[in-house]
Structure 1
C-alpha cells in the first residue's frame, strides 16, 4: 500500500525511475565485441595448426573462455587486485585517480577495473574524459550483472591489445612466445599481463627496458604476496624478453583455407594428428626437393582413419613457388585417373559374378575400332590371371574385361561411389574409362577405398551385416561423428568378399626393391596398394589401404604439364610407403566367410573346375562367383602312347588309344602365352596315317578386327609398311594371303607379311593348306 501511495503521489519521479531502470537494463549491447576474428584451426589434441589474420589486419583469435591460472593471477595482481570483490568499479581507486589527476591538471591515472577496461575496449578506447568514465562505470556495473567474473576476465583476455596488430591473449602467446597460453611460464605470463597497460609504447622489440622493469616489478609483487617462491622468482627474472613476433604455425595451410571458406573467423578443432601431419610434411618436402629437379612441382597427400572416417593428415600441395601454383589445393581437384580405377572394375566383376580372382583373361593385341590399348611395356603375355592383371596393372586385359563386363554397368558402379568428377555418360569415356579416360580427385578416391576397407571391417564385426551409409564422406571436423546408418543384410555397393579378394590381389603388387627410395620400407607390412599414371605422364597416383588407414598420394604439375618419369610407381609410390612407415602396423582384414564359398578351381585356368581339369585346388571365392562358367580350356583328346600325336580308330587300335585332358588356349592367346610359359604344350597334331577331319585353328594377330589404320611417313618421306600377322595352331601349316581377291604371298612357320598399301578399303583373306580360311577388313589412311 505504501509503495502504491508513493507512486500515486510521485508519478513523475516514478516514471523517471522506471525509465532509468529500463535504460540501465538495456544500456549494454547484446554483443559487446563485433570486430572480425582470425580463423584458427587446431589438431584433435588442441595443438595450433594454423591461423588466418582477421579481415581488418589484426591477429585476433576467436573468444576463448579458458584463461590459464598463471596469466589470470598476473593480470589481477597488476591491473585489479580487488577484481573479485568490487561491483564493477573500485571507489578507492577512482578517488585516488581523481585526486592525482586534479593535482596534475590532466589525466595521469585511470583507476579503471578490469570490468571497466572491458567496457572501454568494447567502445574502441574512446577518449578518457570524466563523462566517458561515468558511462564506463554505469556499463561496468551492468556488465557485472550480466556475466560472471570469469566471463569478464575472459572478455578482457580475448580483446586486449598486446602491441602492433596483436589482439588477445591467445594470439599474443603464439606471436611472442610461439606456444599456447596454458604453456607459458610465470615470467612470460607476467610479460603479457603488463603489455596491454601501454601497448603502443611497450611491446617486444620496443622500449625493452621499460617492459623489463614492469615485468620484474610484477614478479616481485607475486613473490611478496607468496604467490611464487623465491627460486621461481629468481629464475623468472633471468628469462629474456621476446625480441620480435614469431610467425604463426602453418602446418596445414590448404586445410585452413578450405575451412575458412565455410567457418570464417571461427575456432575449429580438426581431426588432424599433428605429429603425423608434421612427419608427412617433412616427407613431402624431401620428395619435392628431388622431384623438382625433373620440373615436377606439386604433391598432395591424404591420410584417413578407416574406423572413424576422419582425416589424419591433409597436405594440399608441396612448398613450391607461387608460379608453380603452391596455393592450389590439389586434393579436391579433378585429375586424370590413370589406372587407379582398375580395382573398382575388378571388384565390380567379382561382385556381379563375372570373374574369379585367378581366372585367365586374354592379354593379346586388341583393337576396338580405331582404339588399340597397349600395356605399359608394350608386351603381351597371351593369357594372365585377372588377379595378376590387376597387380601388374595391365591395360589390355583390363580393357577386354571392361568390354566383356559392360561399359554402362561399370559406369553405374562408379556412380554409386559418388565420384563427383564423373559427370559424363559412359559413351563419352568409352573403354578408356578404366585406363584414365575419366577424371577424379584424391579426396573421392581415398573416400572410396576407405569405405571398401570399412565394409569388410563392419561385416566381420557386426554378424555379417552391412551399414547403409557405409560409403559416406570423411570429415576433418573433430566435433562431427560419422553416422554409418542402419544395419542391413544387403550389400551397399560391393559385397564384403569381393572387396576382400580385391585387396588380396592388390596386396601382392611387387615393390621394386632395387629402387633406392624403397629400401628402408618395412616390407612386412601388409598393404593393398595401387598406382596410376595418366596419359602423357601428367599425373602419378598411389593409394594404399590397410584395415585401419588409407593413404593417398598424387604427384604432378598443377598446370597439367607432363614430365618423363612422372609415373605412379616411381613418383608417388615411394611417398606412399614413406607415409605408411610412420603409421602403426595393422592386422590384415578378416576373411568374410559368410560371403564366401569353398569350391574346386582349375589350377591352370582359374575357372571353376570340370572333370577334365587334371589339377584342381580348393579356394574360397565370393558367393557370386558360383555363377561363373566352368573351365573352357580343358579338352579330352585321343593320343597315342607317346602323347606326341592325336589318333583315332582309323590309325590306331582302340586299346592303344590314350585319352588325356589337354589345356588348350585359343590360337592368338597361345601364340604369346607359350613364349612366357615354357612348359605349355600345344595340342599335338594328328598322326599322318589317321583319316578324318583335321581341325586347325588360325586367327589374326594384327589386325584383329575391322579398323582404321594410319600409316605415317618416316624421316625419308616414305610411307611405312603395314605388317599383317596371323597365328596358326599347326606349326607345319602353309598360309596363302589374298588382298582384295588378289594373291600376294605365301608364308610358312612365322606368318607375318609386310606390304605397302595406298589409302583405301581392303579385304584380307588368308587360307591354309587344309582349306581353312579367315577374313579381315581394314581401312588405310595416310
Structure 2
C-alpha cells in the first residue's frame, strides 16, 4: 500500500557535500577578524581626545570606533566603491572592468576590489594572487552575510593604512590634522579618503602634488554625485594638505598609564575609554600646575600633582599625576604622584578629630594639652616651636598643632586609629600598628593622594546623603572614585539597604568640616570672608618631615581637590610646606569650580548640650560660664569638666584656706578654673584673663587637694642623650619645671645630692653622668616632686 522510501547514494553524497560547504562557509571567518594590537586611548567625557599611546607593534592604530563620520562614508564610497550599498560584497561589474583594463595594459592597473574585499585583504595580509583573490571574494560574501554595511565601514576605517605608521581614520585625523575625524572639513576628509589607495607612495609629507590631484579629483567627483556643490568643492581645493605627522595630545598621560595597568582588573575589553574627566577643567588644571611648577623650579622643586573629584557623582573630574616632561628624564615626570605612597604630614589630623568626636572622646572645643611632651623617647614639636598650654580641639586642628594631635592620639590609642584609617580606605598601612605608633598622626605612615582624596570624598558624600537616607548611612559612600564613564553610573541604594551606623556619624563629620573651614587661608585668600561671593571650603595642609612633601586637600559639598608638591625622588627643599606651596594651588583650582552651597546642618543628628565655655568639656556643677553647643550623639560619653573646682578662701577673698586655719562659717567658697601647673605655665602667657590660684594664707598648709609642681622636661623615665659641643666638651641638658606659685623657691637634688636653687623661673642646666638618676625637687612649703631619668652614653646613641 505504501511505497518504500529509498535514499539514493548519490543524493546522500550531494547533501553531505552541501552541508560541508555550508559549514565551511559559516566558519570561514575567524571569530576576531583583526588581531593587531591597538593604541591605548583616553577621551574626556565629551569625547575629546586627552591622551593616546602607540600600539605594541609601533603603529598608531585606534580601536574600532562606535560611529564613523558621514563625510568619510561618502568620500570613501565615492572614491573606492560606488556600488558599496548595492553589492553583496563582490562587485561583478567592477571586477570585469578591472580585468578588461588589466588585459589591455598587460599589467595590473586595477583589482576591482570592493571595500568589503579590502577589509578581508587588510585582515589577512596575503600576497596578491589569483587564488587569494578567489578566497577574498568568498570571505567578503561571508562578511556581508553576518555584518551590516556600517559595521564593515567601521572595520575599514579602523584598519586602513594612511601612510607612515598611521593606521585607521581616527589616528590619521589626529596625526595629520590634530583634530577628531568628526570635525574635519570636506577637503581634509577627502585627503584622508584617498590615502589608503596607495599609502606607501602618497601620504602627507611625500608626493604632495600627486596627493593634491587625487584629493581634487575626489572633490569633483563628490560634486558630480551631488554630495556637495561645486562651490564647496572649489573652496575645499584651496585648503593646504598637511605636512609630516603631528604629535598626539598628552593631556592625561598618567591616567592613560593607570588605565593600561588596571584594564584587566576593570574587565574593559577594548583599549579605548571615555573617561569622566571634564575636558576644559583638565586643561585648566594642567596649565595651572605648569605655571606653579615653573615658579617652584627656582627652588629645585620639580613635581606637582592634583586630583579633582566630583562628590555627588563619585567621579574623577581632573587627573594630573605630574607635569609631563618626558624630554627631561631627570625630573621623573613619568611618575604618577596620585598613586605614589608619600608621607601625608598633617592631612590625617581631621580624621582623628572626627573619630574622637564619633566615639565620644572629646567635644568640638574640648581643651587639649599643648606643652613640651616626651613619650617613650618621642618628642613632637609644633611647627612654630611654641606652646599654648591648652587649646580647644577645633582650634588645634585649624592651626595644625602637632603636640595636641599627639596628645589626642595618645588618649584615643594609635591602635584604634590605625584600624579606623583602614576602614576609611587607607590601603598603604602595610605594617602593624606598633610600627607607626603615635607618629602616624604627624605623617609617620604613607598614603596615596588617591586614597586621601577618596576618604574625604566619602565623608562629604556621607554628609550630603543625610536627608536622602533619613539619617541612615550608605556604605558605598567610601567606594573608590570612578574615572571611566561607562562604569560611572550606579543604581541608587534602596532606603531599606541603608545602614544604621556609618564609619563616622553625620554630626562628627559636620563638626570636623566646620573646624577645617577655620584654617587661615594663604595670601589674599585670607580675606575671603569679606566677600559674599567667596567659596566656603573645608581644607587641610600637610608637610612631611624633612620638607619632602607639601599637601593641601579641600572640599565642598560638590568637589574634593587634593594637591601634592615636591620631588618624586624624595629630596626635601627649604620652604616646601603645605600652607605656602600647595595651598595656593588648591584655591586657584577651586576658583575654576562652581560655587557650592555649604553642607546642610544635620539637625536631628546633633544634640544640644550644656558645655563649659572655658574648657569645652561637658559642664559640671562648678563651671561658671555655660553655653549650649550642637554636639555628636556620642558626646554623652564624654567626661565632666575636670578643670573647674571649688576652692575655699578666707573672709577677704585674698588667700586660700583650710578648715585647719579658718572656720567654715567664715570661708568664701568659689568655683575656679584651674589648669595643671605645666599647662598653666604656658596658658597664662597667652590668656591674660586667666586667674592664678590665690596663695595659701601664711601658716595654713595645702591639704593636698591641688598639686603645685609639674615637670615640663624631662618627663618621667625619659632617656636623654647629651651631645658634644663644637669644642669637644660634653654639653648640658636644661631641666624645666613649673610651680603654681610665681614666687616659689625650688631646691634641686640629683641622687640626693643638692645641685641648685631656682626662684620664679625654674630652669637649670645640668650635666649628669651617664646612667640612671633620681631627681628630687622640694619647695619652701615642703612639697616634693620625685622622678627618674636616664642619661645615655655616646655608645648607646
1:142/1:680 Cα in 2 relative to 1: closer, same or farther (>3 Å)?
same
Give the deviation of 1:79 after TM superposition. 1.0
Over the aligned positions, Cα root-mean-square deviation in angstroms equals: 2.5
**1:310-709 to 2 correspondences below 5 Å:** 310-320=315-325, 321-480=328-487, 481-482=489-490, 487-513=497-523, 524-639=534-649, 643-646=653-656, 657-688=667-698, 693=703, 697-709=708-720
CA positional deviation for 1:679: 1.6
Q: Distance in 1 between matches of 2:16 and 2:672?
A: 112
Q: 5+ unaligned residues in a row in structure 2: which ranges?
A: 265-269
Match of 1:270 in 2: 275
User: Structure 2 vs 1, CA of residues 177 and 696 (structure 1 numbering), >3 Å: closer, same or farther?
Assistant: closer
Q: Would the aligned equivalents of 2:555 and 2:561 in 1 still touch at CA under 8 Å?
A: yes
CA contact (8 A) 1:664 1:683 kept: yes
Tell me: CA distance 1:756–1:515, structure 2 relative to 1, closer, same or farther (3 Å): farther
In structure 2, the partner of 1:232 is: 232
State the secondary structure of the residue aligned to 2:21. Answer: helix
Does structure 2 retain, via aligned residues, the 8 Å contact 1:506–1:528?
yes
Instruction: Give the one of 754, 775, 782 matched to 1:764.
Output: 775
Give, in whole Å, the separation in 1 of the partners of 2:731 and 2:434. 33
- Counterpart Cα distance in 1 of 2:664 and 2:528: 62
After superposition, give the CA deviation of every residue in 1:49-86 in whole Å (9 maximum; x if it has no partner).
11111111111111124111111011111111111111
Please report how far the alpha carbon of residue 648 of structure 1 lies from its aligned counterpart in structure 2 after TM superposition. 6.4
How far is 1:295 from its partner? 1.5
Change (3 A) 1:278 1:517: farther
CA distance, structure 1, for counterparts of residue 51 and residue 212 of structure 2: 30
Does the aligned pair in 2 maintain the 1:470–1:484 contact within 8 Å? no
What is the alpha-carbon distance in structure 1 between the residues aligned to residue 784 and residue 760 of structure 2? 17
For residues 325 and 474 of structure 1, the distance between their equivalents in structure 2, rounded to whole angstroms, comes to: 26
Report if the CA contact (8 A) 1:467-1:484 is conserved: no
Note if contact 1:356-1:606 (Cα within 8 Å) is conserved in structure 2. yes
Q: Residue 287 of structure 2 aligns with which residue?
A: 282
- Structure 1 residue 283 displacement after superposition: 1.4
Aligned to 1:292: 297
2:213 counterpart of 1:182: no
Per-residue deviation, 1:17? 4.1
| Deviation, structure 1 residue 643 | 4.6
Q: Secondary structure at the match of 1:459?
A: coil
Contact 2:520 2:526 in 1 (8 A): no
State the Cα deviation string for residues 307-335 of structure 1 (Å, max 9, x = none): 22111111112234312321111212211
| Separation of aligned partners in 2, 1:65 and 1:369 | 64
Distance 1:689 1:726 in 2: 25
The answer as to whether partners of 1:543 and 1:576 remain within 8 angstroms in 2 is yes
Between 450-459 and 312-321, the greater mean CA deviation after superposition: 312-321
CA deviation digits over 1:668-703, x for unaligned, max 9?
100000111112111111344767758661111111
Q: 1:6 to 1:160 in 2, by over 3 A?
A: farther
User: What corresponds to 1:302 in structure 2?
Assistant: 307
The corresponding residue for 1:143 is 143
Between the aligned partners of 2:13 and 2:479, the Cα distance in structure 1 is 68
Does the CA-based 8 Å contact 1:522-1:581 persist in structure 2? no
How far 1:457 moved relative to its partner? 1.0
Conserved 8 A contact 2:522-2:580? no
Q: Which stretch of the first structure deviates more once superposed, 423-432 or 348-357?
A: 423-432
Deviates more, 1:223-232 or 1:51-60: 223-232
Out of 762, 768, 772, which is 1:751 matched to? 762
Structure 2 CA distance for aligned equivalents of residues 642 and 236 of structure 1: 104
TM-score for both structures, normalised by structure 1: 0.95
> Residues 15-63 of structure 1, C-alpha deviation per residue, up to 9 Å, x if partnerless?
5444433333332333221111111111112111111111111111111
Q: Deviations over 1:241-277 (max 9, x none)?
A: 1112121111110110111124386111211111111
Structure 1 portions without partners, runs of 5+: none
Distance in 1 of aligned mates of 2:707 and 2:530: 54
CA distance in 2, matches of 1:554, 1:657: 62
Aligned partners of 2:527 and 2:604: how far apart in 1? 40
2:351 and 2:216 mapped to 1: Cα distance? 67
- Residues 103, 234 of structure 1: CA spacing in aligned structure 2 closer, same or farther, 3 A cutoff? closer
Corresponding position: 1:253 with 2:253: yes
Q: CA deviation at 1:639?
A: 3.9
Q: Secondary structure at the match of 2:719?
A: strand
1:208-261 C-alpha deviation (Å, 9 max, x unpaired)? 111111111111122222221243223212211111212111111011011112
The Cα of 1:597 is off from its aligned counterpart by 0.4
> Residue 212 of structure 2 corresponds to which residue in structure 1?
212
Cα 1:692/1:281, change in 2 over 3 Å: closer
Aligned to 2:267: none
Assess, with a 3 A threshold, how the Cα gap between structure 1 residues 107 and 514 changes in structure 2: closer, same or farther. closer
TM-score (norm 2): 0.93
